[in-house]
Amino acid sequence: MARHVVAPVGELPPGSRKFLTIDERPIAVFNVKGEFFGLLNRCPHQGAALCEGPLIGLAQSSEPGEIEYSKLGEIIRCPWHGWEFDIRTGQSYCDPKRFRVKAYAVNVEPGSSVVKGPYIAETLKVSVENDYVVVDL
Amino acid sequence: MNVQFRPSADGSVTAKTAIADCDIHPARRSMKDLYPYLAKRWHDHLETYGGHAYQGMMVGPPYPKAQPNASRRDAYPPEGGVQGSSLSFMQQQHLDPNNVALGVLNPLNTGQGLRNQELSAALATAINDWQIAEWTSKDTRLKGSVVVANEDGVASAAEIRKRAGDKNFVQVLLLSRNVEPLGQRRYWPIYEAAQEVGLPIGVHAFGFGGNPITASGWPSYYIEEMVGHSQCQQTALASIVLEGVLERFPKLKMIMIEAGFGWAPSLAWRLDRVWQKLRSEVPHVKRPPSEYIKDHIWWTTQPMEDPERRDHLFQTIDWIGWDKLLFATDYPHWDYDEPSRVLPAGVSDANRAAFYLGNARELYGIA
C-alpha cells in the first residue's frame, strides 16, 4: 500500500471532487461536508466514469407510503445507468453481493509528516505549513 | 464479459473488432436546426402554434426520464447542445473508440404522431434531409432511417418512395405506440412502399399515439414505462402477424428496436396455440404465427436481456436464431449498452461476429 498526496486541503473545499490517475487507476476524491472519500472512478456494472455522476441521498422505504431519505450527498449515482453506490463503503444498494466499487481511505495529514515520507506527492510541492489530503492505495 | 474493447489512453482507435450499432439517436440542438429543410410557412407555424400530439402532454415525453434528455450525463458535447447533437463528439466518444463500422440513425421526436398531418409530413421530410446533410454525408459509417408521418399512410408512402434507392437510408422508422395497433390497414401503404423500395421497417419503442403504455392503463412510474415497451411491442407484433401484413407483403423485413427479445418465444408459442383453435377467424393467417415471426423479424439487442443464468439467454437466442440479432447501444441515451459488456462467455466466434456486425451488414445490405 502506498500513500499518495492528492491536494492541499484548501483546494478541495466541501462539495468539490478531484479526479486523478494513480498507478493507471482512475480515482476520484470527494469532500462531502468536510469529510473526505475516495472511490475508483469506474462503475462495476458497465465501466462508466462513475464519479462524474451526481451525489444524491438514499431513498428507502419500510413499507409502501413510507419514505426515508438519508445519507444526503453520500450516494454516487452513475451517469449512465443510475446505479447507486455508498461513497463511504462502495456498497451497491440494488445488488450488494455482485457489485461493489472499490473505496479508498482518504485522510488529512499535516505537511510536516508528509514531507518526511514515505508519501508519494507526484506533481505536488509539499510544504510543512499546510495540511494535505492523502489517499491510501 | 471476456472481450475487451478498451480505448487507448490517447483516444486513438486500437485494434479491436468492428461492430454495428443499430440504434443511435442523433439530436437537434433545437427545432431551428431543421429550418433550412423546412418551408418558411412551417417556421412561422411552429413558432405560433407549435406541434401537438395525440397524447395529452403538450410537450415532452409521457413519462419523466432518469437522466437529462434521457441521455448519458457524460455525453454533453463540449461545444454545447444536448447529448447526441454533435457529430464530432459522437465520433470521439463513441464511433471511433468503439470501432463502429456501421451506425444506424433513429431520430426521435421528429414529427411522428403529430395531429397536424401536413406538419408531420413536412417535419419527416426535413428530418430526412437533415440526416443526409448533417450526418450521413459527413460520416459514411452512419446510415439514416426514413422518418415518416406515420399516421398518414399515403404521405408516408410518398416519402418512402422519394427516398427509393438513396444509399443514405437503410430502413423506414416507425414507433411502437401509434393511434392504432401497427398491423391495421391505415399503415399498409407504409408497408407496401417499404417492400417496393426494398427497405426494412424498424419499429422502435415509444411513440405518441395517445394510448397508455400498458394494456391496463396509465401506470405510475417511469420504471413501468421502461418495462412496458416490451409489452407494447408484443401487441404491435401480434397485430402485424394477425392482420396478415406479412402475408400481404411477403418480402417485408421488420426490426424490433429497443424492446427486448426474451419475450419472443413466449408470444409465438401462445399465438401458435391459440391460432390452432381460432384459425377460422383469421384465415388470411395461413401459417403458424411463429413462422412469420421467425422469417420476417430481426431484433436489436439493447437493452440486452441479462438473466442470472447465461444458458437461459442462449436458449432464448437459439429459438430466435443467432442470425436475427443486431447489436445496438442506444447512444447517447442513458440505458446505453457498452459493447464489451453485453455478451457473456461461451459464444462461438461465428455467432459473435454475426451478433456484432455480420447480421446488420447482411440485413441492411452494407458491404
Identify the CATH number of the domain in which residue B37 sits: 3.20.20.140
Give me the domain span that covers residue B283.
Answer: 19-364
Cell readout for B42 is 412551417
Residue B352: count other Cβ atoms within 10 Å of its Cβ. 16
Average pLDDT over residues B293-320: 97
Q: Do B202 and B173 touch, CB atoms closer than 8 A?
A: yes
Residue of B nearest to A78 (CA): B73
Cell of B169: 437510408
d(CA B132, CA B127): 9
Is the CB of residue A95 less than 8 Å away from at least one CB of chain B? no
Is the residue at B269 inside a domain? yes
For residue A45, the chain B residues in CB contact (below 8 A) are 341
For residue B61 the three cell numbers come to 415525453
State the smallest CA–CA distance between residue A49 and chain B in angstroms. Answer: 8
- Does residue B53 or residue B202 have the better pLDDT? B202
Over residues B191-215, mean pLDDT: 95
Find out whether the peptide bond into B332 is cis, omega within 30 degrees of 0: yes
> Is the Cβ of A44 closer than 8 Å to some Cβ of chain B?
no
Position B11 in a domain: no
The verdict on residue B160 lying in a domain is yes
Cell representation of residue A84: 447507486
- Pairs of CB atoms within 8 A across A/B: 33
Query: Which position has the higher pLDDT, B284 or A114?
Result: B284
Is B357 within a domain? yes
Reported confidence tier of residue B285, pLDDT bands at 50, 70, 90: very high
Indicate the pTM of the whole model.
Answer: 0.91
Grid cell, residue A8, equals: 492541499
Q: Using an 8 Å Cβ cutoff, are A86 and A32 in contact?
A: no
Assess if residue B51 is contained within a domain.
Answer: yes
Per residue in B3-31, pLDDT tens? 444 444 444 444 579 999 999 999 999 99
Are B67 and A48 an interchain contact pair (Cβ–Cβ within 8 Å)?
Answer: no
Q: Which residues share a beta bridge with A29?
A: A18, A38
Q: Quick one: cell of A104?
A: 479508498
User: Residue A133 carries which side chain, given as an amino acid letter?
Assistant: V
* Residue indicated by cell numbers 391505415: B186
pLDDT at res. B57:
66
* Rounded Cα gap, residues B220 and B243, in angstroms: 32
Sequence-separated (6 or more) residues with CB below 8 Å from residue B47? none
Regarding an ipTM greater than 0.85, the answer is: no
In chain B, % of residues over pLDDT 70: 95
Answer yes or no: do A79 and B340 touch at CB < 8 A. no
Is B242 a member of any domain? yes
Q: Check pLDDT > 50 for residue B234.
A: yes
pLDDT at A133: 93
Do the domain assignments include residue B2?
no
Mean pLDDT of chain B: 93
In a domain, B1, yes or no: no
pLDDT at residue B86 is higher than 70: yes
CATH assignment, A3-136: 2.102.10.10
Is residue A133 within 8 A of residue A12, CB to CB? The reply is yes
Q: Which residues of A73-99 are buried (b: 16+ CB within 10 A; e: fewer)?
A: bbbbbbbbbbbbbbbeebebeeeeeeb
Number of domains in chain B: 1
More confident position, A6 or B59 = A6
| pLDDT number for residue B177 | 94
